[in-house]
A and B are shown apart, each in its own frame.
Chain A
């Protein structure tokens, strides 16, 4: 029974429960609605909660735990047979999963023991061909062990889902009975329903915590695994980034310093572009521009902010890169050897950040009390003197916060650097060189069919952790500064 049917059953039971609860409560009050504590629908609602909530929680928990448990079981049986390392078994597990999917697709193949019980090489080969005809490619040649494991896997999955269906249905019916049993006119149904809703609301709110926890756990576990394969000191202080692609566990050099340098350099150029332009635009818009100019220019700037980063990435790759090549390339002064360079990515990222900086600064400049402006004008200061000597110093903490937020954005930006900065990790001071960044390398190490046991793949999680901590620190600092600033003027 697929899960969709199970869900339908649950909802059917819930509808039944709703009707039963309502009817029973009304009967206990002899059909007199006024004698009920709550509206009839609340009695129905109570039963629905009892029917759905425990069983659904169980179902979700079961689904969540099911596959790791089954896999653990299969892996143990595989290991006992092959006595191989942890590493190989994770690869094999991937094949087992694909196999299992294939077995399900090829009708009748579930009773494989009857069909190719001899496990002869030829039989296996035929079977593999049959699988690939159905679009399932195995990582290595089909072995009897994997076939058995896949069958065990399937059998366990079947058993598990059978019990799951049974247990979930039983729990649901028990809940229904309990709810109906409690429905009578003195029962405070509304309070129960409201408590149920409240629980749902709290659960929804805690998804934010779960997400953060998920991020932390997925980063930490994989990072620890990485550091078991690769020395942390070589990662954090390595000056060379040269992952080997052939073979695994080879002599890759995975030093983070060149990537951090690239990230830092691109972000620096981006900020050098975005901060002056954004800040001065904000000053112009909030202090000088007439209403009409403001009404025209502000939405246009916001358009820049709403454009997805892939567009900026393409802009860097296909427009700005070639443009810079024409200006600085081999044909003119020969500074640039390819369109992909730190300057390309930095420039485009700067353009992306202009509206970000300007709208944040705009808010902050507008938060400076009007009284300070009047005080300055009243003394005979010109507008620019007022801005430079009164408004900007007063707004400085807020602006610093905005710049930090922009820096965090720049560090975490991916598409522009993937498409515009280049792929070579390099420690160089020349902005016309191609360099690469932390985010770009996370993408390149994790894209494609990855098995999570080689240092070349796991390093992406260590990079992710670095990136996460870096941006988190910047964000927390920036939010703290901005909040302090706002409180100051409220």
Chain B
């Protein structure tokens, strides 16, 4: 059941960063995602909205194959990143995840120092030679995560000692430290207070300069504030996908309209 505006683009085109072709996801017998087909632009913030349990997080987790870690999950169909099917058996999910970073709902810093948290990715991917280079990588990541000024004097302290908003920005810095091309964010502000949320939203807008950002959010205001494109999911279907302005002012599908006006959700 697909009725978004991009149904005619069957030809894989390099200008799209991510393309989904008839993606189905099952958790055991539960059909969580049904026949989703969509293309996502580079250097754009795309927001996934929809009621709880509609499959938006599940779909997000397909893009960096995080669903592989759940034993009962099965993914069918194709997802292309830069024109390459990421579910191809030859693709190493580990390498994929280095290029498609992820930020989670609850901030999850490792129980290590702030420095080690950020340095972890670059280390395992062999991105820095020597201590000095690693320090540069960490510093630039922390700067891009807009948290450098707050933590530069206490890099040796545990990351778990930061406040919630700081922890989440640390996790964003940790994600960008591996130089990903795509950044997936699964409700990154749901555990944060309004001030921290504002800081993160500001940060997301800056990140758009360098990355494609896909963000799952519960808050329609947030989607309207940070995204250029919005996709509305309902019961596992991608109901509507369009420019954010279009979705919020002139939705085509009645289900989108009822969600936006608060009748379902």
Residues of chain A touching chain B, judged by Cβ–Cβ distance below 8 Å, are: 290-291, 369, 371-382, 385, 389-390, 393-394
Q: Which of A371, A375, A380, A390 has the most CB of B within 10 A?
A: A380
In the complex, what's the smallest C-beta–C-beta distance from B120 to chain A, in angstroms? 7
Contact B66 A381 (CB under 8 A): no
Q: Which of B64, B98, B99, B120 has the most CB of A within 10 A?
A: B120
Query: Across the interface, which residues of A come within 8 angstroms of B99, CB to CB?
Result: 380
Given contacts A379-B178, A380-B98, A380-B124, contact A394 B111 (CB under 8 A): yes
In the complex, what's the smallest C-beta–C-beta distance from A414 to chain B, in angstroms? 39
Contact A290 B121 (CB under 8 A): no
Q: Which of B95, B102, B111 contacts A378 (CB 8 A)?
A: B102
Query: Across the interface, which residues of A come within 8 angstroms of B69, CB to CB?
Result: 373-374, 377
B101 on interface, CB distance cutoff 8 Å: yes
Contact B108 A375 (CB under 8 A): yes
Q: Which of A290, A378, A385 contacts B66 (CB 8 A)?
A: A378
Give Cα A377 to B66, complex, Å.
7
B195 on interface, CB distance cutoff 8 Å: no
Residues in B97-111 with C-beta less than 8 Å from chain A: 97-99, 101-104, 106, 108-111
Contact A389 B111 (CB under 8 A): no
Contact B175 A372 (CB under 8 A): no
Residues in B57-116 with C-beta less than 8 Å from chain A: 64, 66, 69, 71, 94-99, 101-104, 106, 108-112
Query: Across the interface, which residues of A come within 8 angstroms of B106, CB to CB?
Result: 371
In the complex, what's the smallest C-beta–C-beta distance from B239 to chain A, in angstroms? 27
B171 on interface, CB distance cutoff 8 Å: yes
Contact A378 B124 (CB under 8 A): no
In the complex, what's the smallest C-beta–C-beta distance from A362 to chain B, in angstroms? 17
Residues in B170-200 with C-beta less than 8 Å from chain A: 171, 174-175, 178
In the complex, what's the smallest C-beta–C-beta distance from A243 to chain B, in angstroms? 52
Give Cα A400 to B69, complex, Å.
28
Contact A291 B71 (CB under 8 A): yes
Residues in B127-179 with C-beta less than 8 Å from chain A: 171, 174-175, 178
Query: Across the interface, which residues of B come within 8 angstroms of A376, CB to CB?
Result: 110, 120
Query: Across the interface, which residues of B come within 8 angstroms of A378, CB to CB?
Result: 64, 66, 97, 101-104, 175
Query: Across the interface, which residues of A come within 8 angstroms of B125, CB to CB?
Result: 380
Residues of chain B touching chain A, judged by Cβ–Cβ distance below 8 Å, are: 64, 66, 69, 71, 94-99, 101-104, 106, 108-112, 120-121, 124-125, 171, 174-175, 178
Contact B71 A290 (CB under 8 A): yes
Q: Which of A369, A372, A379 contacts B121 (CB 8 A)?
A: A379
Q: Which of B95, B104, B124, B178 contacts A374 (CB 8 A)?
A: B104
In the complex, what's the smallest C-beta–C-beta distance from B167 to chain A, in angstroms? 11
In the complex, what's the smallest C-beta–C-beta distance from A298 to chain B, in angstroms? 16
Contact A377 B111 (CB under 8 A): no
Give Cα A377 to B93, complex, Å.
9
Query: Across the interface, which residues of B come within 8 angstroms of A394, CB to CB?
Result: 110-111
In the complex, what's the smallest C-beta–C-beta distance from B194 to chain A, in angstroms? 23
Query: Across the interface, which residues of A come within 8 angstroms of B97, CB to CB?
Result: 377-381
Given contacts A393-B110, A393-B112, 20 further A-B contacts (CB under 8 A): A290-B71, A371-B104, A373-B69, A374-B102, A375-B104, A375-B108, A378-B97, A378-B102, A378-B103, A379-B97, A379-B120, A379-B175, A379-B178, A380-B97, A380-B124, A381-B120, A385-B124, A389-B124, A390-B110, A394-B110
Query: Across the interface, which residues of B come within 8 angstroms of A382, CB to CB?
Result: 94, 124
In the complex, what's the smallest C-beta–C-beta distance from B105 to chain A, in angstroms? 9
In the complex, what's the smallest C-beta–C-beta distance from A288 to chain B, in angstroms? 11
Given contacts A379-B97, A379-B174, A382-B94, contact A372 B66 (CB under 8 A): no
Q: Can you list 10 A-B pairs, Cβ within 8 angstroms, ordered by A?
A: A372-B108, A372-B111, A373-B69, A374-B102, A377-B66, A378-B102, A381-B94, A389-B124, A390-B120, A393-B111
Query: Across the interface, which residues of A come within 8 angstroms of B94, CB to CB?
Result: 380-382
In the complex, what's the smallest C-beta–C-beta distance from B23 to chain A, in angstroms? 20
Give Cα A285 to B66, complex, Å.
20
Give Cα A380 to B178, complex, Å.
9
Q: Which of A291, A372, A377, A390 has the most CB of B within 10 A?
A: A377
Give Cα A372 to B94, complex, Å.
16
Contact B171 A375 (CB under 8 A): yes
Query: Across the interface, which residues of A come within 8 angstroms of B121, CB to CB?
Result: 379-381
Task: Output the nearest chain B residue to A368 by Cβ-Cβ distance.
Answer: B111
In the complex, what's the smallest C-beta–C-beta distance from A163 to chain B, in angstroms? 69
In the complex, what's the smallest C-beta–C-beta distance from A398 to chain B, in angstroms? 12
In the complex, what's the smallest C-beta–C-beta distance from A420 to chain B, in angstroms? 41
Contact A380 B66 (CB under 8 A): no
Give Cα A376 to B171, complex, Å.
11
Query: Across the interface, which residues of B come within 8 angstroms of A381, CB to CB?
Result: 94, 97, 120-121, 124
In the complex, what's the smallest C-beta–C-beta distance from A287 to chain B, in angstroms? 10
In the complex, what's the smallest C-beta–C-beta distance from B59 to chain A, in angstroms? 16
Give Cα A290 to B71, complex, Å.
8
Query: Across the interface, which residues of B come within 8 angstroms of A389, CB to CB?
Result: 120, 124
